[in-house]
Amino acid sequence: MDCFLASALLLVLQTYAAPPEILQVGFGITVGPVNVSGDVPSSPPPGTNKRAPHSIIIGVRKGGTRALLEMLDIHPEVAVAATEVHFFDWDENYAKGFEWYRELMPYSYPNQITVEKTPGYFTSALAPERICAMNSSIKLLLILRDPAERVISDYTQVYFNRLENHKPVQAIENLLVRNGALNIRYKAIQRSLYDIHMCNWLRHFPLEQIHIVDGDALIRDPLPELQKVERFLNLPPRIVSTNFYFNQTKGFYCIRSDGRERCLHESKGRPHPAVNSTVLQQLRSYLKEHNRTFFRLVKRTFDWQ
């Protein structure tokens, strides 16, 4: 019943074009080189190939997907895609075909697994079916944080992007509330209805193939969450506590690997705006029942307000 109601709401909230013909691709398949750009391809490292992903970080937007990918990249048996591909959620990219998608994957050695991340997959109506058609056994990573905080973070990213592009901005309260009521059609709120989107994924994948990373816990203490991911992906334990250090200036953990130290881009971890307490309570109250439904679906709870 939970998923039936969620499916009905998803249809109301979102409109997508019908998917083009789906290409069946086996797990871990390797195919010959394809030059999608027309340029002369550079020579790959000997013994490597571009492979379909063994695992995909499917979301959620502003949940910590970039941090998770960068931290997984520490592992010597992981090869990560450099960019968000948006193959399974954007019709114009999906129409380009699987060869185009595979060409965007990194070169990897036979002992490595390939991982790509596109946060938009989680909220896409079509991505679960399309990914399942590629590989019904693929392992999926979903990183989530408190859904109300995710809404505010979503707004913050758009706010700064608009400022940088000299576009007008609105106070968050003007987007969250319309005519005195919570504006549930605001995309940032729709993306935080985790139960609705999870139902769509569970129609195509068993829960055992979807590992949920606690994004709030990853921020507080990365190592335990990364160790859980290693086990889920059947990777040998290679990520250790010395791979992380707390940056007092930025206020979050950064990465230490191969003698180098690096932090996430300055656009990550921006301070959130203060939100009117009444509006914030309105948002949390609306999300509360959706959170309860999500907890039932995934058979675990999270420390969300």
Q: Is 51 annotated as a binding residue?
A: no
Cα dist from 203 to 2, 107, 116, 198, 200, whole Å: 12, 32, 22, 9, 5
Q: Is 28 annotated as a binding residue?
A: no
Q: Is 256 annotated as a binding residue?
A: no
Q: Is 231 annotated as a binding residue?
A: no
Q: Is 130 annotated as a binding residue?
A: no
Contact (CB, 8 A) for 171 and 274? no
Cα 240–chain centre separation: 23
- Residue 112 tokens, joined: 């490595």
Q: Is 270 annotated as a binding residue?
A: yes
Write the CB contacts of 37 (distance below 8 Å, at least 6 apart in sequence): none
Cα dist from 49 to 29, 72, 79, 193, 258, whole Å: 10, 20, 11, 38, 23
Q: Is 66 annotated as a binding residue?
A: yes
117 classed as catalytic? no
Q: Is 153 annotated as a binding residue?
A: yes
Q: Is 180 annotated as a binding residue?
A: no
Q: Is 63 annotated as a binding residue?
A: yes
Q: Is 145 annotated as a binding residue?
A: yes
Which residue among 50, 62, 117, 139 is the active-site one? 62
Q: Which residues are annotated as a binding site?
A: 62-66, 145, 153, 253, 268-272
Q: Which residues are annotated as a binding site for 3'-phosphoadenylyl sulfate?
A: 62-66, 145, 153, 253, 268-272
Catalytic residue IDs? 62
